[in-house]
Each structure stands twice: as structure tokens, then as C-alpha cells.
């Protein structure tokens, strides 16, 4: 996806007052998108998408940035 598309989505999210989920289990959106949206001020909410109680609140990838 182009930077222009990512910026348009970021603008729409901000205009709507919405949040974007960053999914730990599926690594979605990826680091490039997360970094760009974070820089644009998009509110991001981390989710483990845990299907097992032991995985609730366990974040291996989503720590302090979009970088793995």
C-alpha cells in the first residue's frame, strides 16, 4: 500500500475519532504501517487476540513501536 493510501486512512481514522487495533497474533498491521500511523497520531490499541489464557497480555512483537 502506498504512503498516500496510508496517510488517507490515517486522516479518516483521526477525523472519525476512531482507534486502530494492532494485532499481536497476526502481526497486522505490519511495522511500516504502525510506524507511519503512530507518527501521524493515530491512536493504536494493542491486542493479543489470545485464544488461550496463558497468552492474554503477552506481547512479544508490539513493544514500544512497530518494529519486531
Encode pLDDT of 25-48 as tens digits: 888 899 999 999 999 999 999 888
User: What is the residue-wise DSSP string for 25-46?
Assistant: TTTBS-HHHHHHHHHHT--EEE
45 within 8 A of 20, measured Cβ to Cβ: yes
Average pLDDT of every residue of the chain: 86
Question: What does the pLDDT read at residue 47?
Answer: 85
Q: Report the predicted TM-score, pTM, of the whole model to 2 decimal places.
A: 0.76
Amino acid at each position: 500500500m502506498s504512503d498516500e493510501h496510508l496517510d488517507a486512512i490515517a486522516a479518516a481514522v483521526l477525523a472519525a475519532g476512531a482507534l486502530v487495533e494492532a494485532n499481536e497474533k497476526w502481526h497486522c498491521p505490519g511495522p511500516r504501517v504502525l510506524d507511519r500511523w503512530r507518527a501521524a497520531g493515530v491512536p493504536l490499541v494493542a491486542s493479543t487476540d489470545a485464544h488461550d489464557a496463558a497468552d492474554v497480555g503477552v506481547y512479544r512483537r508490539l513493544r514500544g513501536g512497530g518494529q519486531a
